[in-house]
């Protein structure tokens, strides 16, 4: 008899495998429908794995590094699958985006999957709204970087993967649009988080490490969007800017919990 | 003849103040101020306030001079909402109260704070009082704190006694003040001291936070007129919280307190009396105490409203902009 924990890990490992195969097929430039199918298989397996964990523990994937990474793999793969389906012109970006998702999935599998503890202040619907908008923010920022990343990648050995993609200016514009929506999602995430913090800890903002880095990430994105309108930077500079914002956001999501005692001061 | 030159100079100044280049510089300054304050282990409102105030001036000047804002009402609304957010944050800093205090079970809160911050224009007297009526706090195995339930009572504006249970993300709201339970809580022996030739006094001695200082449940108490303090120690008959399984923290069913003063030592149960040098001590019984955080910020609801307007306007702006020119 397979325990629910083993089943969950098998499913999450299977999801990582499906995404890794999709990455390899995308890298050799094979049929995009197979890539999409494999991404969807990965998302489905990850969904069942996370649902099994949720059902066994009684709470969602919000507390440990493993849970945050595994749920992020799920959301990023789902958002990329949606973009892949809705915008066929950007499908070659799978060559750049899927390795990132697979690395994240590998990182998740290397962390301790032991259950954490859901603090009492996490028993609120605002947790779900805050998390959903956080994941949309990171997902749209990933799409912005993925699309913009094609611009420098065209000047490398990967050039032949992107010959059918639109020109650099069009890619910059699309990347800007993804970044603009990422900014909206980021702002909603911060506002919902502030409302939650007011109820949970009696303050809407306390400059704890995660809040400080989230604000820096928001400022960096605001800076980039402003610069895009005002200076009309070259595609290369835009790529560098949006990548920098993504790095700050990535560190905020997955780095700060490592360097501070808890994601939020007073959370536990 | 000189007036056009003066007008032109002020217009030039306004245009300079409204420039996007300045916006970029100020956004960079704000990020730098945030980062430096963070690295210095404490965000200073003034350090952040300067670039924020300059950004507001930059934005107001831009709204006046930049025709793009008149062409794009959603963009204008978003930026005006940002000005409102920053202004409300500033007003909140001046008028808010953020304090902490401890309250013994059964005792009405008198508005005294143990610490915290008050804005320069905040109300100095806290016109809100309540009584806490004990607590129960759930703990999961491994001493992991769960749900807090803290029954409270207060008199409302119509003079009616009201009861509720607060805890975790459910604060008590009275007259705009919001009272939150915290992880800081413990036990408080209630004592009557009758000193020789002095009026009797009653005191509650807040022992160190429990279970954080589970093995240091002692504290000195020195009633007025007594030359040496009385050392009070709580002795529990068995642990209240089981580290290996789910438990509930509340008043212990069986316990004693040990009192020591001037070489005299006595073990007391509720109702017992001890004769100590200088007077008589009666142990009334054990109560709980709860550490509370209290906040008052009249701007918070308006701040939320301004944020929601900003979000709606930004969404409207981008959707209209991108729909007008499909990719």
What ipTM score was computed for the predicted complex, to two decimals?
Answer: 0.89
- Residues B105-122 pLDDT 10s: 999 999 889 988 888 888
Give this prediction's pTM: 0.89
Instruction: Compute the mean pLDDT over every residue in chain B, rounded to the nearest whole number.
Output: 90
Q: Where do runs of H (alpha helix) occur along chain B?
A: 3-17, 20-39, 45-65, 67-71, 73-95, 300-323
Bridge partners (DSSP) of residue B166 are B150
Percent of residues, chain B, with pLDDT higher than 90: 66
What integer pLDDT is reported at residue A258 of this predicted model?
63
Residues 46-75 of A with CB under 8 A from B: none
Percent of residues, chain B, with pLDDT higher than 70: 96
Residues 145-164 of B with CB under 8 A from A: 145-148
Alpha-carbon span A183 to A163, nearest angstrom: 30
Q: Of A244-248, B188-192, B277-281, which range is least confident?
A: B277-281
What integer pLDDT is reported at residue A260 of this predicted model?
63
Res. B5 pLDDT band, cuts 50 70 90: low
Q: Closest Cα to residue A256, out of A217, A202, A201? A: A217
What integer pLDDT is reported at residue B231 of this predicted model?
96
- Residues A121-180 pLDDT 10s: 888 999 999 999 999 999 999 999 999 999 999 999 888 889 889 999 999 999 999 999
Q: Does A164 touch chain B (CB under 8 A)?
A: no
Name the residue facing A227 among B24, B144, B310 (closest C-beta).
B24
The helix/strand/coil state of B7 is helix
Give me the mean pLDDT over the B138-158 stretch.
91
How many CB contacts within 8 angstroms connect chain A with chain B? Answer: 97
Q: Does B307 touch chain A (CB under 8 A)?
A: yes
- Residues B165-212 pLDDT 10s: 999 889 999 988 999 999 999 999 999 999 888 888 999 999 999 999
Q: Closest Cα to residue B99, out of B84, B86, B117, B82? A: B117
Name the residue facing B23 among A120, A215, A226 (closest C-beta).
A226
- Residues A64-98 pLDDT 10s: 889 999 999 999 999 999 999 999 999 999 999 99
Residue B223 has pLDDT above 70, yes or no: yes
Give me the mean pLDDT over the A228-243 stretch.
94
| Gyration radius of chain A over CA positions | 19
Report the Cα B248 to chain-centroid distance in Å: 25
């Amino acid at each position: 008899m397979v325990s629910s924990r083993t089943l969950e890990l098998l499913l999450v490992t299977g999801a990582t495998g499906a995404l890794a195969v999709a990455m390899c097929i995308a890298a050799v430039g094979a049929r995009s429908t197979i890539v999409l199918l494999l991404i969807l298989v990965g998302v489905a397996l990850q969904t069942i794995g996370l649902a099994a964990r949720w059902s066994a523990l009684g709470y969602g994937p919000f507390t440990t590094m493993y849970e945050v990474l595994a749920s992020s793999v799920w959301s990023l793969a789902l958002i990329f699958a949606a973009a892949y389906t809705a915008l066929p012109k950007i499908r070659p970006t799978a060559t750049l985006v899927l390795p990132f998702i697979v690395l994240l999935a590998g990182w998740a599998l290397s962390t301790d999957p032991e259950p954490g503890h859901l603090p009492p202040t996490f028993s609120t619907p605002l947790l779900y709204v805050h998390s959903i908008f956080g994941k949309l923010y990171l997902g749209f920022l990933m799409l912005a970087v993925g699309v913009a990343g094609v611009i420098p990648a065209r000047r490398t050995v990967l050039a032949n993967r992107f010959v059918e993609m639109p020109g650099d200016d069009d890619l910059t514009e699309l990347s800007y649009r993804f970044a603009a929506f990422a900014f909206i999602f980021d702002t909603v995430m911060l506002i919902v988080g502030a409302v939650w913090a007011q109820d949970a800890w009696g303050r809407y903002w306390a400059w704890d490490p995660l809040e400080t880095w989230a604000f820096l990430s928001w400022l960096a994105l605001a800076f980039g969007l402003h610069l895009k309108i005002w200076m009309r930077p070259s595609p290369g500079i835009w790529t560098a800017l949006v990548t920098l914002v993504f790095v700050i956001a990535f560190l905020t999501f997955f780095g700060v919990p490592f360097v501070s005692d808890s994601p939020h001061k007073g959370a536990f | 003849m000189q007036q056009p030159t003066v007008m032109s100079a002020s217009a030039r100044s306004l245009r300079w103040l409204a420039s996007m280049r300045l916006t970029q510089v100020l956004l960079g300054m704000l990020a730098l101020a945030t980062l430096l304050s963070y690295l210095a282990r404490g965000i200073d409102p003034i350090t952040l306030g300067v670039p924020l105030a300059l950004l507001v001036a930059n934005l107001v000047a831009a709204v006046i001079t930049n025709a793009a804002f008149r062409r794009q009402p959603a963009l204008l609304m978003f930026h005006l909402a940002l000005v409102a957010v920053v202004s409300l944050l500033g007003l909140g800093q001046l008028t808010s109260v953020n304090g902490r205090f401890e309250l013994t079970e059964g005792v009405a809160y008198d508005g005294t704070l143990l610490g915290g911050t008050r804005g320069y224009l905040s109300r100095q007297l806290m016109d809100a009082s309540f009584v806490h009526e004990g607590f129960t706090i759930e703990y999961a195995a491994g001493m992991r704190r769960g749900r807090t339930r803290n029954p409270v009572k207060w008199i409302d504006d119509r003079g009616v006694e009201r009861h509720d249970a607060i805890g975790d993300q459910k604060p008590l709201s009275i007259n705009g003040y919001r009272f939150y339970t915290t992880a800081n809580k413990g036990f408080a022996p209630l004592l009557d001291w009758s000193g020789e030739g002095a009026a009797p006094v009653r005191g509650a001695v807040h022992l160190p936070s429990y279970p954080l200082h589970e093995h240091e449940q002692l504290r000195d108490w020195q009633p007025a007129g007594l030359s040496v303090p009385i050392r009070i120690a709580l002795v529990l008959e068995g642990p209240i919280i089981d580290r290996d399984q789910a438990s509930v923290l509340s008043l212990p069913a069986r316990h004693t307190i040990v009192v020591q003063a001037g070489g005299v030592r006595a073990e007391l149960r509720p109702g017992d009396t001890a004769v100590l040098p200088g007077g008589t001590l009666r142990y009334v019984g054990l109560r709980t105490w709860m550490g509370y955080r209290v906040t008052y910020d009249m701007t918070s609801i308006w701040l939320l409203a301004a944020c929601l307007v900003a979000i709606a306007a930004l969404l409207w702006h981008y959707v209209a902009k991108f729909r007008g020119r499909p990719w």
